[in-house]
Every structure is written in structure tokens, then in C-alpha cells.
Amino acid sequence: MSDDDVANAILLLLERAKQLVEGAGATAAAALLNDDAVDELDLAGETVVPLLCGGNIDVTTLKEVVTHALVDRDQLIELAVRIDDTPGTMGDISTLIGAERANIRTVRHERSRPDLPVGDADLVFEVETNGPAHVDRVLRAVREAGYEVEWTTQEG
């Protein structure tokens, strides 16, 4: 079981059980959510009740854990879009993303990286989605509009 499993368990417990538990208190639930751990425990036919305890988690840690879990679920992604650096392009791409019902949290306009040709820029969007299928729709919409886009938070 990994820290990712614990982060996902904390978020799941917040969403579904409306319970805020610290990492140590979420490990039992994380183990039950992890297929490999369940197989090792050999719980077939057993009734298992995980103990949820401990609310000793500060707001900064909670934000980090929730953000990490959302990235892991592909519900918070980062997209880098290569553009010709002309007025209105950021607005055009923002409109494409919004039309797919995805929410832009932040955007960075990068013009001064050594690998960028003169006149080009990268727009780096942090976007909230509903998951992988929604990400695919957003990527498709941006690509179909003629932009080169990279999903930078994707695993692999």
C-alpha cells in the first residue's frame, strides 16, 4: 500500500462518508480499497469493518492530499498548449475548454523558455475535470481546433 492509496482513501472518505480522517486513520480503508492488499489478507467470506479515526490533519496537508488524489484520478490535470503568441489565443483556447464543461483553475503564459521559437508560447492550464473520459473530450476539442496539446500530469 502506498501514500497514493492513503491519499485516495482520505478523499473517498471525505466525499462518500463525510468523514475527515488523518493518514494513519485512513490506512485501514486504503488497504480495503487496494486489490493487492485485499488478496494478501484473504478476507473472502469475512465481514470487515475498518476503524476510521484521527482528525489530526492540518489544512495545508489536507489540501496537498486532496490535490494529489484528484491528480491521481485525472480530475485535476495540467495541459500545455503550444501557440503562436498572438492576442486572443488564450481566450480562444479557454473557450474550447469551457465548452467541454471543464473548469480552468490557473493558466500560465510561458514565452521565455529556451526551447520555444521566437513568436511561440506555451499556455499551461490547470483544469478540473470529471475524470479520464472528460479529459479525452477536452484534449480532442483542443486538438481539433488545430492546437498542439500535451497532457503533462498523465502517468507514463
pLDDT in tens, 80-129: 999 999 999 999 999 999 999 999 999 999 998 888 889 999 999 999 99
Rounded to two decimals, the pTM is: 0.80
149 pLDDT higher than 90:
yes
CATH 3.30.70.260 spans which residues of the chain? 76-151
* DSSP 3-state of 70: helix
Q: In this predicted model, what pLDDT tens digit does every residue of 38-72 receive, in sequence order?
A: 677 777 788 888 888 888 888 999 999 999 999 99
Region 139-156: what's the mean pLDDT?
90
Query: Using an 8 Å Cβ cutoff, are 140 and 151 in contact?
Result: no
Rg (CA), the chain: 20
Q: Quick one: pLDDT at residue 156?
A: 46
Q: Quick one: which H or E segment has residue 91? A: helix 89-99
Q: Quick one: pLDDT at residue 115?
A: 86
Residue 54 has which C-alpha cell? 484521527
Q: Quick one: pLDDT at residue 52?
A: 86
Q: What one-letter code names the amino acid at 64?
A: E
40, burial (CB in 10 Å: exposed 0-12, middle 13-18, buried 19+): exposed
Query: Using an 8 Å Cβ cutoff, are 25 and 50 in contact?
Result: no
Q: Quick one: pLDDT at residue 154?
A: 77
C-beta neighbour count of 37 within 10 angstroms: 15
Superfamily of domain 76-151: ACT domain (3.30.70.260)
Query: Using an 8 Å Cβ cutoff, are 149 and 79 in contact?
Result: yes
Query: Using an 8 Å Cβ cutoff, are 67 and 121 in contact?
Result: no
Q: Quick one: which H or E segment has residue 122? A: strand 120-128
